Every structure is written in C-alpha cells, then in structure tokens.
Amino acid sequence: MNDTKWDEIRLAMHELPFPCKWRTVSTEGYQSEPDADWYYHFRIGGYNCISYLDILVTDDTKRKAVREILQAIHVPGEETAEGFRIYGYQAENMAMNYL
C-alpha cells in the first residue's frame, strides 16, 4: 500500500473523538506493542516495512466509526475479532479484499 493511503488512515484515526489503539507487524515479523498515538508514533520509521496494521476497537460504536473511515479510504483489509487488519503487502496466493 502506498504512503498516501497510510497517511490518510493515520490522520483520520487521529481525528476520531475517542482513542483507538493500533499495532503493526513488520515485514521482518516484529510485532509492535499496542499504541494509541496515531499522529507521531504511527509514522516513525516510515511505512515501507508494515506488513499489516491491526486497528483495535473495544465496542460496536467504535467499530462502526472505524469501518466507515476505512471504507471511505478504500484500503485492503478485513474485519477481525479485535477490530480491523489493513495489509501493506499482499502475500502470494492471497485473495485481497477491500474495506
């Protein structure tokens, strides 16, 4: 996924009226700890090494708000039990769905 889309996600999530945690898994397999700072922390190190982003939601109201944002941005990903997973790279033999 390109830097423009990552920035769209970052800014939209930063503007939410409630905190929403995230974590990333790098292309090297490193999983970050959950963090709620979208404005500064999310962009540290750039976006090239993000294999996927998990957006963690705690209730249905937050899930609905985040879903609407992600659908408007039109990103590759899926809903999960914890919230949403946004893919930075498509794995071989993986069908990609968009939110």
Q: How do the domains of the chain map onto residue ranges? A: 3-87
pLDDT in tens, 26-36: 999 999 999 99
Note the pLDDT of residue 15. 96
Share of the chain above pLDDT 90, in %: 83
92 alpha carbon, distance to own chain's centre: 20
Q: What is the pTM of this model?
A: 0.92
User: What CA–CA distance (Å, rounded) separates 61 from 81?
Assistant: 15
32 token code pair? 């970050």
22 strand-pairing partners: 35, 55
pLDDT in tens, 20-66: 999 999 999 999 999 999 999 999 888 999 999 999 999 999 999 99
Instruction: Decide if 85 contacts 53 (C-beta within 8 A).
Output: yes
User: What CA–CA distance (Å, rounded) separates 75 from 37?
Assistant: 20
Task: Answer yes or no: is pLDDT of 91 > 90.
Answer: no
Note the pLDDT of residue 93. 77
